[in-house]
Structure 1
Amino acid sequence: MSDRTIRWGMIGCGDVAEVKSGPAFYKAENSELVAVMRRNGALAEDFARRHGVGRWHDNAEAIIQASDIDAVYIATTTDSHHDYTLRCAAAGKAVYVEKPMGMSHAQCLAMVAACERAGVPLWVGFYRRALPRFLQLRDILQSGVIGEVRAVVSRQNQKPPTPEQLQGHFVAWRTDAARSGGGFFFEAIGHTFDIFDFLFGPIAQVQGIASNQAGLWKSEDMVTASYRFASGVLGSGAWCFAADRDEEYHDIIGSLGRIRFSVYKPVPMVLTVGDKVEEIPVADPPHVHQPLVQTIVDELNGQGRCPSTGDSGARTGWVLDEILKDFRRD
């Protein structure tokens, strides 16, 4: 074990890196953000200046081949994750790639294989696995207070973007399957299935129906699915991205009680056992990637393991592919 400083390079420094992830790499213990890259050099320079990063580039190779960088965070759109991961692996760099891990399960498997061949670790940005509220949720389930878990039921509705938002960068790439791999479901709901994998283990069987009902973009806007975890827990969900209101909740149903929680908002969990209802508030940290980044840094220093691996990320990639496969064929 050691306490050496892990030197990071970042490929892509857009919206997600501004608060959620970027500061984690220079605020985590024994971690330093050495250089950032964005194809728009002026924006890369601006990010570097504001975050106190010593170097910026407009070419990814400058990050990938740098001798003073140990690990690379890939924070670009999904269509480039596979290519950048393979290039980093070939250069002997450890990789932390954003979600969705790849455009397909096949890409995920190729990324895992490339990193295994190169002897470098691969982690995926499903950062909720290290957030305090999900660790607390896991502890509640393991305590047995709700008994044996029988099922998990998800409901997520979201009002569609305005015409102006549809044209903006934040929304436009997320509904363009050529860049994101699908629509809002594929781009975002991996977080839900990944945290289910964390809580209940791998999904062994899944069936889904997806459609485009509103016609505001070409990718899916309505999805339903049912699934069975290898542990025996059953699950079902419905996700609508052209609904009348915004709401999102998940009910874990046990033999003695139940828990309602949100994957995406740090609202209190609601624990119900008999007639007793308890709200359990657990706040998120300012930079939500930081706890997971810390586990990566610690692992590279021989202390523990990061819970979000290429293997677990690929499992979530398989679930998403299975749910959307009929829609994509159509």
Structure 2
Amino acid sequence: MKRVKVAILGAGFIADIHLESYTRFVPEAEIAAVYARNADRAKAFADKHRIARHFSSVDELLQSTDVDVVDICLPNFMHREVTLKAAAAGKHIIIEKPLAVTLEEADEMIAACEAAGVKLMYAEELCFAPKYERARKLVEEGAVGQVYMLKQSEKHSGPHSDWFYDINQSGGGVLMDMGCHGIAWFRWMLKNSRAVSVTASMKTVLHKHRTRGEDNSIVIIEFENGVTGVVENSWAKQGGMDDRSEIHGLDGVAYADLFTGNSVLAYSKNGYGYAMEKTDTTIGWSFCIFEEAFNQGYPQELKHFIECVQHNREPLVTGKDGRDVLEIIYAAYASAGQGKKIMLPFNEKVEKPVDLWLHPTSITK
């Protein structure tokens, strides 16, 4: 079967992981081009990964390159514009989290893809992470009985790129960056059971000098099937990456830790290279992750989408799923801002979700 030609839009940390995943695990895909806002960065990325074409203009890439799929690994504020252009050009789209900055943008993106007849997949890797998937199958096999609570946490000491800290580019802090993972995983585990209420607490505890967004958050979600989901996220946790989940049932419990048991325990006085950059998380004791991309589900999600394009199938995780996750994020910010439980549906119109936390009095009627 003909290989699917993919253009990677972005040349940062996540684009590097996607490229490695395609190259090593998705032979059905061919990386045809890369785009970055900075021309030198685009060329450096292309040279490093031996990609034939590189661009610093999305319009030129879409007009000049024969591609079937665009893989959007760009800052949040660019998601809407690039998705609309790609859909108009007839390209299938896989997009990194969060789907968009606002619900209005999400609706516009979904509608544009439907009108153009192109596939839109929300890239939620936790729905494909091997350990998490094994835990889900345990539940389906009845190992823990009736589930009454799910917990998921993702924590580290902060993102690699500056734009994450700029709420005008990201739309929020750690909840927008990582909380979306836990929320999407809850919905995946519960077969998209509807969320009915959200209660949240958030603070900026470590990065006050860098961001107005929250760097530590706790969100409690109640679903219509009676299950409670608790998602904890932090950019303030020292000692490296932490990503784990818990499934609590009436007859048992299951724990899945993406990194423990798949790492080398190491001590480094000065730190070591990590995905093209040195970070303070590698100083001292740390867990050097073996096959990090594979453990987190990136190759599996990308392979799934390429196969959807090849065989004209609907992705398991769609743009509409991404939109539902974003609505819960809205409700979490509103809950933290107003200090009360927020009922769903929740469709407050704001410039960016974090405003519901930072400026609750100017939004609440």
What range describes the TM-score normalised by the shorter chain of this pair?
Answer: 0.7 to 0.9
1:227 corresponds, among 221, 227, 230, to 221
Q: Tell me, what secondary structure is at the counterpart of 1:285?
A: helix
CA contact (8 A) 2:293 2:299 kept: no
Matches of 1:284 and 1:23 in 2, distance apart? 8
Matches of 1:170 and 1:140 in 2, distance apart? 35
Structure 2 spans left out of the alignment, 5+ residues: 263-290, 338-356, 361-365
Q: Which amino acid aligns with 2:20?
A: P
Superposed counterparts of 1:1-330, under 5 Å: 3-18=1-16, 20-27=17-24, 28-66=26-64, 68-154=66-152, 158=156, 160=157, 170-202=160-192, 203-205=194-196, 206-213=198-205, 215-216=208-209, 217-242=211-236, 249-262=244-257, 265-267=258-260, 285=294, 288-302=297-311, 304-325=313-334, 326=337, 327-330=357-360
Q: Tell me, what secondary structure is at the counterpart of 2:118?
A: coil
CA contact (8 A) 1:11 1:74 kept: yes
- Per-residue CA shift, 1:145-192, capped at 9, x if unaligned? 11110112345665x55xxxxxxx824221211111111221122111
CA contact (8 A) 1:101 1:124 kept: yes
For this pair of structures, how many residues does the alignment match?
Answer: 305
Q: Which amino acid aligns with 1:126?
A: E
CA contact (8 A) 1:74 1:97 kept: yes
Instruction: Give the CA deviation at 1:52.
Output: 1.8
- Per-residue CA shift, 1:90-123, capped at 9, x if unaligned? 1111111111111122222221111111111111
Q: Sequence identity, in percent?
A: 22
Instruction: Give the CA deviation at 1:283.
Output: 8.0
CA contact (8 A) 1:64 1:72 kept: no
Matches of 2:129 and 2:13 in 1, distance apart? 20
Q: Which amino acid aligns with 2:259?
A: P
Cα distance change, pair 71–258 in 1 and its aligned pair in 2 (3 A): same
Matches of 2:312 and 2:87 in 1, distance apart? 22
Q: Which amino acid aligns with 1:267?
A: T
Q: Tell me, what secondary structure is at the counterpart of 1:21?
A: helix
Instruction: Give the CA deviation at 1:30.
Output: 2.0
Matches of 2:152 and 2:48 in 1, distance apart? 39
Q: Which amino acid aligns with 2:35?
A: M
Q: Which amino acid aligns with 1:191?
A: H
CA contact (8 A) 1:11 1:63 kept: no
Superposition RMSD in Å: 2.6
- TM-score, normalising length: structure 1: 0.83
Cα distance change, pair 314–258 in 1 and its aligned pair in 2 (3 A): same
Cα distance change, pair 74–157 in 1 and its aligned pair in 2 (3 A): closer
Instruction: Give the CA deviation at 1:288.
Output: 4.4
Matches of 1:283 and 1:172 in 2, distance apart? 23
Instruction: Give the CA deviation at 1:303.
Output: 6.4
Q: Tell me, what secondary structure is at the counterpart of 1:124?
A: strand
- TM-score, normalising length: structure 2: 0.76
Cα distance change, pair 230–65 in 1 and its aligned pair in 2 (3 A): farther
